[in-house]
With several copies, the nearest count.
Chain A
Amino acid sequence: MNKVVSNADEAIKDIADNMTIMLGGFGLCGIPENCINALVRKGVRGLTCISNNAGVDEFGIGLMLKTRQLKKMIASYVGENAEFERQLLSGELEVELIPQGTLATRVLAAGYGMPVIFTPAGVGTEVAIGKEQRNFNGKEYLMEYAFDSDFALVKAWKGDTHGNLIFRETARNFNPMMAMAGRTTIAEVEILVEAGELDPDQIHTPGIFVHRIFLGRNYEKRIEQRTVRKKV
């Protein structure tokens, strides 16, 4: 039941060209920094990435854009990234934009073994084009499919050797659902403890969903919008 691997390179060693991977995080908050760096080192190409955002030019998924490792990006918002824009406009990169709640729920559906979900998000918009639409109780819904992915890469605050995970603050975001949804799920954590050290009532992601876990190193945790107030 020990799922600990020594580092990111070992954890991602079988992620291959043209695979589909999910990456947790919202903006740069709660992203699997170590795994992303390892993917850049490994140089796998043709990846389809499912993640709420695409990072910034020099950080997060942006690092893999720079090295042109991505074939397709599935996200809800992709601003703040000049290289992304360049690749998109030049046709090098395929992009599928989907509503954030649809993204979250399609990931949840995968983790919960549900083939589709129905959501009202996007009804009457171009998001609805080509999708099955159906009325329930007088309201229109779109049918959206669960995401299938080869790997899910998530970042947690604490984890144990069985793969149980605890997230911190808004760094939780998409991570718990993606942890549930990956065919293989890799978790990187800031604090790794022995099984039994986490309170079983406080675990956000039970270890059954996690296949590999490792202690992450040198977290940068960049802040996108540093907003502060002055002390009075």
Chain B
Amino acid sequence: MLDKTGIAKRIAKEIRDGYYVNLGIGIPTLVANYIPRGMKVVLQSENGLLGMGPFPFEGEEDPDLINAGKQTITTVPGSAFFDSAMSFGMIRARKVDLTILGAMEVSETGDIANWKIPGKMVKGMGGAMDLVASAKLIIVAMQHVNKAGESKLLPKCELPLTGVRCVRKIVTELAVIDVTHQGFKLIERAPGVSTEQIINATAGKLIVHGEIPEMIID
């Protein structure tokens, strides 16, 4: 079973040299720490920055320089600032190669719900609906089951949707799963996790073809 760091490390292996990547809040943010050595990747922050660097050193925080999670950040050589219209323009025009974000639920057809729980205070979708509607490649980082022990990989989302038929891959503490035209497809097991455990934790249709390899993360 993976911890959050493990999920981030596994997702980082999906990154390719030269990718422009948008990282959501939470586990996705951690992915930045595990980009394979030697790969050049540019992080997009949808509030208007390409080339997001690490957090600033203490005392060097700049209130004019934050990421989409409102955290103080830095730039890297080659960074560029732009306005929000251009930012979502590049997202809509599919210039961002990979979008990694969290989810409350994903359906076997790739629908995603991650912004609203009826009955609870709704904070808003921020940029999530734009990102999922347009991204070339979306990977979801999330727990396989919720706190009540219920599967978050469903035949159909129960929560209000953020976007439809958009998620291509899911990485959880238990598994790597592709979203195919036939439904969820088990690709890898987390270390020490059995195929049966994953089947039991997945409410949506799960395709299991032959022997499922255990994932390798350093």
Interface residues of A (CB under 8 A from B): 1-2, 26-30, 52, 75-79, 85, 88-89, 97-105, 107-108, 110-114, 119-127, 157, 160-162, 164, 167-177, 180, 194-196, 200-201, 203-204, 206-209, 221-231
Q: Is the CB of B64 within 8 A of A29?
A: yes
Given A104-B88, A125-B160, are A172 and B72 also a contact pair (CB < 8 Å)?
Answer: no
Q: Is the CB of A225 within 8 A of B70?
A: yes
Closest A residue to B162 using CB positions: A125
- Stretch from B2-10, B39-47, B179-187, B196-204 forming part of the interface with A: B39-47
Q: B150 near A: Cβ within 8 Å?
A: no
How many residues on chain B are close to A (CB under 8 Å)?
74
- Binding site of A, secondary structure by majority: helix, strand, loop or mixed? loop
CA distance in complex: A85, B121 (Å):
7
Interface residues of B (CB under 8 A from A): 18, 20, 40-42, 44-51, 54-73, 75-96, 111, 121-130, 133-134, 160-165
Q: Is the CB of A206 within 8 A of B50?
A: yes
State which of A98, A102, A224 has its C-beta within 8 Å of the C-beta of B70: A224
- Residues on B with C-beta less than 8 A from A110 are 93
- Residues on B with C-beta less than 8 A from A162 are 42, 51, 78
- Residues on A with C-beta less than 8 A from B161 are 124-126
- Residues on A with C-beta less than 8 A from B126 are 76-77, 99-100
State which of A111, A121, A228 has its C-beta within 8 Å of the C-beta of B93: A111
- Residues on B with C-beta less than 8 A from A77 are 123-126
State which of A75, A114, A120, A172 has its C-beta within 8 Å of the C-beta of B81: A172
Q: Is the CB of A126 within 8 A of B92?
A: no
- Residues on A with C-beta less than 8 A from B124 are 75-79, 97
A-B contact pairs, 30 of them (CB 8 A): A26-B48, A99-B125, A99-B128, A100-B130, A101-B130, A112-B92, A113-B89, A113-B134, A119-B133, A120-B133, A123-B163, A123-B164, A124-B164, A125-B160, A125-B161, A125-B164, A164-B78, A167-B81, A170-B65, A172-B48, A200-B51, A203-B80, A206-B50, A206-B86, A207-B50, A207-B78, A229-B55, A229-B57, A229-B58, A230-B57
Closest B residue to A162 using CB positions: B78
Q: Is the CB of A127 within 8 A of B129?
A: yes
Closest B residue to A220 using CB positions: B63
CA distance in complex: A33, B217 (Å):
47
Given A112-B92, A180-B93, A206-B50, are A104 and B125 also a contact pair (CB < 8 Å)?
Answer: no
